[in-house]
Amino acid sequence: MPDPLEALADFPDRLRTASWFSMVGDPLTVAERTDAADYLNPLGFANVALSEITSWEAAETCIKATDWETEWWDAEEKRRAALLVQAEERFGKLTMLEALTSISEQVSDRVHGAAALAATGGGIADQGLTRAAAGAATMACYHAAVEAAASTAANTTNGKPFAAKFRLFAAGHWPLCVRGATFYVF
pLDDT for the residue numbered 154: 47
Name which of 11-15, 34-38, 148-152 the model is least confident about: 11-15
Specify the amino acid at residue 127: Q
Provide mean pLDDT across the span 40-67.
96
Return the higher-pLDDT residue of 109 and 7: 109
Total number of domains in the chain: 1
Asked whether residue 134 carries a pLDDT value surpassing 50, the answer given is yes
Mean per-residue pLDDT over the chain, rounded: 91
How many beta carbons lie within 10 A of that of residue 115, not counting itself? 25
Global pTM reads 0.92
pLDDT band, very low/low/confident/very high, at 3 (cuts 50, 70, 90): low
DSSP-assigned states of every residue in the chain? ---HHHHTTTHHHHHHH--TTTTTTSPPPHHHHHHHHHHHGGGT-TT-EEEE--SHHHHHHHHH-S-B-HHHHHHHHHHHHHHHHHHHHHH-HHHHHHHHHHHHHHHHHHHHHHHHHHHHHTT---HHHHHHHHHHHHHHHHHHHHHHHH--GGG-TT--HHHHHHHHHHTT--EEEEETTEEEE-
**pLDDT class of 153 with cuts at 50, 70, 90:** very low
34-53 pLDDT tens trace = 999 999 999 999 999 999 99
Read off the pLDDT of each residue in 54-62 and give the average, rounded to a whole number: 96
**pLDDT interval class at 57 (50, 70, 90):** very high
Residue 91 belongs to domain spanning: 4-185
